[in-house]
Amino acid sequence: MTGDYRQKIQELPQVAATVKGWKRGGERVVVANGCFDVLHVGHVRYLQAARREGDRLVVALNSDSSTRALKGAQRPILGEQARAELVAALGCTDLVVIFAELTVEKVLRTIVPAVHAKGTDYTADTVPERALAAELGYRIAITGDPKDHSTRDLLRDIAQRVESENNNQKGGANAAATCDPKADGCQ
Q: Please tell me the predicted confidence (pLDDT) of residue 78.
A: 94
% of residues, the chain, pLDDT over 90: 69
Q: Of the candidates 30, 37, 43, 28, which has an alpha carbon nearest to the alpha carbon of residue 120?
A: 43
3-class secondary-structure state, position 179: coil
- Record the pTM: 0.81
Secondary structure letter of residue 159 according to DSSP: H
- Give the chain's domains with CATH numbers: 5-146 (3.40.50.620)
Other Cβ atoms within 10 Å of 158 Cβ, number? 12
